[in-house]
């Protein structure tokens, strides 16, 4: 479904991604594991196409120069320079880190805003599924998103991405800032939506412990470079991963 070959991203002279290659097959849950500043968010922004908009805005204001090398192929098509809006229409949808929502709008209104490309019936169908996936949101339909807890906002943000009807769902650090209990709830929901809808999931995360047991495969990225890859079980048993992420 997704193939990334030799991806390099420069912010001025700073190298954010260095020759990174990875693949995602249809129906998989694939993880990208790495510490802070490893390049995870840059990778997600590049796959989703947000980096294209960032590059245009920086060029207009004479700011930071952003340069991209390498190839991104989605369903057999080269999308390296495809605008983000077209990627969304092709089914690539990003749920960004720190669960950005519309704080002055209610939960239901947030879903409707996210689903502007979809019909009312499609939005309602997906909302019903999201409320099944995230039961705590059911009683919060009319509450403004700004008054939700961090975990509830993360549930809403993932739900907003689902309303767009993705084929490939990109989750950038979905567990950031959540309690262990809420992390488990979000991970369980990701597994459920993958199994029930066959949506392909690529998620980036620094918290390896809750993620590795549920992913089909994972890549470890450090300083913008791929350092390890394997199944979730293989990486769970890897001494380097245990030392770096589990403290053992």
What average pLDDT score do residues 94-122 get? 87
Output the pLDDT for position 209: 87
Residue 67 lies in a domain: no
User: What's the CATH code of the domain at 147?
Assistant: 3.40.50.300
Residue 143 lies in a domain: yes
Is the pTM of the predicted complex or chain greater than 0.85? yes
Alpha helices per DSSP H over 62-215? 84-89, 107-114, 120-133, 150-163, 180-197, 208-211
Residue 49 lies in a domain: no
What average pLDDT score do residues 89-93 get? 93
Residue 34 lies in a domain: yes
Percent of the chain predicted with pLDDT > 70:
98
Joined together, the tokens standing for residue 202 give 């690529």
Q: Tally the domains of the chain.
A: 1
pLDDT in tens, 64-83: 899 999 999 999 999 999 99
pLDDT in tens, 42-65: 999 999 999 999 999 888 888 889
Distance from CA of residue 83 to its chain's centroid? Answer: 18
Enclosing domain of residue 146? 24-43+83-246
Residue 18 lies in a domain: no
Output the pLDDT for position 71: 94
Confidence band of 247 (pLDDT split at 50, 70, 90): low
* C-alpha triplet 34, 38, 43: angle, nearest 5°: 95
SS3 call for 197: helix
């Amino acid at each position: 479904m997704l193939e990334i070959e030799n991806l390099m991203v420069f912010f001025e002279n700073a190298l954010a991604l260095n020759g990174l290659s990875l693949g995602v097959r249809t129906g998989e849950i694939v993880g990208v594991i790495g510490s802070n500043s490893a390049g995870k968010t840059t990778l997600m922004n590049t796959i989703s196409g947000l980096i294209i908009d960032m590059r245009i805005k920086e060029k207009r204001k004479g700011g930071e120069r952003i340069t991209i090398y390498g190839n991104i192929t989605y369903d057999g098509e080269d999308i390296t320079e495809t605008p983000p809006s077209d990627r969304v229409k092709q089914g690539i949808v990003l749920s960004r880190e720190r669960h950005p929502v519309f704080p002055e709008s209610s939960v239901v209104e947030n879903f409707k805003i996210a689903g502007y490309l979809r019909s009312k019936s499609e939005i309602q169908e997906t909302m019903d599924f999201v409320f099944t996936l995230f039961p705590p949101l059911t009683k919060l339909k009319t509450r403004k998103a700004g008054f939700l807890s961090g975990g509830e906002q993360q549930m809403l943000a993932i739900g907003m991405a689902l309303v767009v009807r993705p084929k490939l769902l990109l989750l950038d650090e979905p567990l950031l800032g959540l309690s262990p209990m809420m992390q488990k709830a979000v991970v369980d929901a990701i597994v459920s939506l993958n199994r029930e809808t066959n949506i392909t999931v690529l998620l980036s995360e620094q918290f390896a412990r809750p993620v590795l047991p549920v992913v089909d495969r994972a890549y470890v990225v450090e300083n913008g470079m791929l350092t390890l890859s394997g199944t979730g079980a293989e990486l769970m048993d890897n001494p380097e991963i245990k030392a770096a992420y589990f403290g053992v």
